[in-house]
Structure 1
Amino acid sequence: MLGDLDSQGLLRGKTVMVTGASSGIGRAAARLFAAQGAAVVVMARREAHLRALAAEITEDGGRAGVAVGDVTRPEDVRRAVSMAVDAFGGLNAAFNNAGWGTVGTTLHETDDAVYEQIMDVNVRGVWNCLKYQIPAMMKQETGGSIVNTCSIAGAFATGALAPYVAAKHAVLGLTRAAAAEYGAHGIRVNALMVGTTRTELVEQAMKKIPDLESAAGARAVIQRMADPLEVARAAGWLCSDQSSFVTGGAVPVDGGCSAV
């Protein structure tokens, strides 16, 4: 139930676009943002998952629009932004959370197709979102707030695949560049530096590397993985007016991994 989440109304009256919303962090964020009063436009490739999520939100009194699409396709992103504007009157915030990675190979063993997919989803996906979200926000007197899901791999080599480390460094670079360019327009752009989180992708990775969970716990000061809702809460704060003087930030949600 939405009422079981953090329903403080931090996002009341706002419209928020969430990518990668079919599972994990994105799904948790969509439910949380709706509980906090936002109308959410959820985007991902898996239509059935999105429809089920939107039904949960509306049944619990929230507002949700479904934009089935792939963040690597500019037209899909444009359509999602247009849905937010047309259906809910604007785009106040966006959580660009869609990402992809895999495990198990060193740099020289990684297939070119894997490199391309990692870069396409993680970097081009954020690029496409920024390109369409920013103009929509520039048309509003209130500006907006954009949050990009990065990773502690965007700050240092974590043992993840080299292309993933490179991609997340690029996401942080795009975040800072956009923050610098559009601050005068009232648009804030921040990155979440996320530690290992119990998502669908991580669950799949743990099947290949059983020691992944213990390794993640050993790295963090808080000796465990994150729950998706814990990351969503940080994203919700950055999307809200409570973080009105925060932009260009690399905000750690990593259980203390970057502290030691």
Structure 2
Amino acid sequence: MNETANSAPVPATSAPAAGLLAGKTGLIIGAGRGIGAAAARLFAREGARLLLASPTEARLKAVAEEIRATGASVDHIVCDLSDPASVRAAVDRTVKVYGRLDIAFNNGAAAVPPNPLDRLPEADLDHLYAVNLKGPWVAVAAEVAAMRGTAGRGAIVSTSSVGSLMGNPWLPAYGAMKRALNSVTASAAVTYGPENIRVNAIAPGTTRTDMLEHWNEADPGVIDRLNAQTPLGRSADPAEIAEAAAWLLSDRASYVTGTVLRVDGGMRA
């Protein structure tokens, strides 16, 4: 460490704090609902200019119009994570609209009905691979290129899952793709750190999204069982997960890269 016993404390400042993401231009993939929509609202409040991407235009447009009504700068584009050209187009659109890319939140994901490994249809496995692993892989590659060519630095966060950190008998393919995404995150962090591009992931626990509700419909009582395994005793609001992503994307996390941050209410403590 460089500090010495005589190091002076950093003086407090009375200057007003700027927004956490003030001056940043960002892309959010999967911004039409749940964690992505909550992130869009939060990032805009924190000063970012945003390009929102999602496969469902009606939801996406509603979120964009809501944010635009607050006076924030926001645009949107339909994006299918399973289509690499669509993912690249979203990144290109951000640069075309704003001239640069500083931050990116790869939040989009797909889910399939819960099934143990031996009963999971192969088509479901292929779909999860295309959306939950290949899609973020393509996104990170395109985002790095855009950051390198414009801002010269940047930060990327992808949404993993607490299910990537444990065995998951009912969502084995979902957990496998998210665990692979953790590896992609670590590899990208090591590769692009020398260019001052930070790459992290968040691992949400039980979060009140449409995906969770659909799982609860297929397996009644699963939310209560998951909450019983969570020290905080409840599921998260999507806005709570968005706060973690915002911090990782901000300059306040300037020395954090290559991590998978659990935001799980203590489930894996």
Tell me, yes or no, if the aligned pair for 1:153 and 1:160 is still in contact at 8 Å: no
Structure 1 position 244 matched with structure 2 position 254: yes
Q: Give TM-score scaled by structure 2 length.
A: 0.91
Structure 1 position 38 matched with structure 2 position 57: no
1:1-260 to structure 2, matched below 5 A, reads 9-140=19-150, 142-259=152-269
Task: Compute the RMSD of aligned alpha carbons.
Answer: 1.3
Paired amino acid for 1:190: N
Instruction: Quote how far apart the aligned CAs of 1:65 are.
Output: 1.0
Deviations 1:184-243 (A, max 9, x none): 001000010111110011111111112111111011111111110000000000111010
Following the alignment from structure 2 to structure 1, what is the Cα–Cα distance between the partners of residues 50 and 158? 16
Q: Give TM-score scaled by structure 1 length.
A: 0.94
Tell me, yes or no, if the aligned pair for 2:43 and 2:246 is still in contact at 8 Å: yes
* Equivalent in the alignment of 2:10: none
Following the alignment from structure 1 to structure 2, what is the Cα–Cα distance between the partners of residues 166 and 150? 10
Following the alignment from structure 1 to structure 2, what is the Cα–Cα distance between the partners of residues 222 and 160? 23
Following the alignment from structure 2 to structure 1, what is the Cα–Cα distance between the partners of residues 174 and 84? 21
Following the alignment from structure 2 to structure 1, what is the Cα–Cα distance between the partners of residues 191 and 268? 27
Instruction: Quote how far apart the aligned CAs of 1:155 are.
Output: 1.5
* Equivalent in the alignment of 1:3: none
Instruction: Quote how far apart the aligned CAs of 1:104 are.
Output: 2.9
Tell me, yes or no, if the aligned pair for 1:105 and 1:161 is still in contact at 8 Å: yes
Instruction: Quote how far apart the aligned CAs of 1:160 are.
Output: 4.0
Matched residue SS, 1:78: helix
Identity of aligned residues (%): 39
* Count of paired positions: 253
- After the TM superposition, which segments of 4 or more aligned residues of structure 1 sit over 3 Å from their partners? none
Instruction: Quote how far apart the aligned CAs of 1:142 are.
Output: 4.4
Deviations 1:45-71 (A, max 9, x none): 101111111110110111111110101
Following the alignment from structure 1 to structure 2, what is the Cα–Cα distance between the partners of residues 198 and 182? 33
Paired amino acid for 1:131: A
Instruction: Quote how far apart the aligned CAs of 1:8 are.
Output: 5.9
Following the alignment from structure 1 to structure 2, what is the Cα–Cα distance between the partners of residues 160 and 239? 32
Change (3 A) 1:16 1:164: same
Paired amino acid for 1:120: A
Deviations 1:7-28 (A, max 9, x none): 9611111111111111100000
Paired amino acid for 2:93: M
Matched residue SS, 1:258: coil
Deviations 1:117-158 (A, max 9, x none): 111110011111011100011124540000010011222114
Following the alignment from structure 2 to structure 1, what is the Cα–Cα distance between the partners of residues 168 and 50? 33
Change (3 A) 1:99 1:137: same
Paired amino acid for 2:78: V
More displaced 10-residue stretch of structure 1: 151-160 or 10-19: 151-160
* Equivalent in the alignment of 2:9: none
Following the alignment from structure 2 to structure 1, what is the Cα–Cα distance between the partners of residues 177 and 170? 11
Following the alignment from structure 1 to structure 2, what is the Cα–Cα distance between the partners of residues 194 and 13? 27
Instruction: Quote how far apart the aligned CAs of 1:73 are.
Output: 1.2
Tell me, yes or no, if the aligned pair for 1:123 and 1:171 is still in contact at 8 Å: yes
Following the alignment from structure 1 to structure 2, what is the Cα–Cα distance between the partners of residues 75 and 220? 39
Q: Which runs of 5+ in 2 are unaligned?
A: 1-16
More displaced 10-residue stretch of structure 1: 159-168 or 120-129: 159-168
Tell me, yes or no, if the aligned pair for 1:16 and 1:94 is still in contact at 8 Å: yes
- Computing the radius of gyration over CA atoms, which structure comes out larger, 1 or 2? 2
Matched residue SS, 2:31: coil
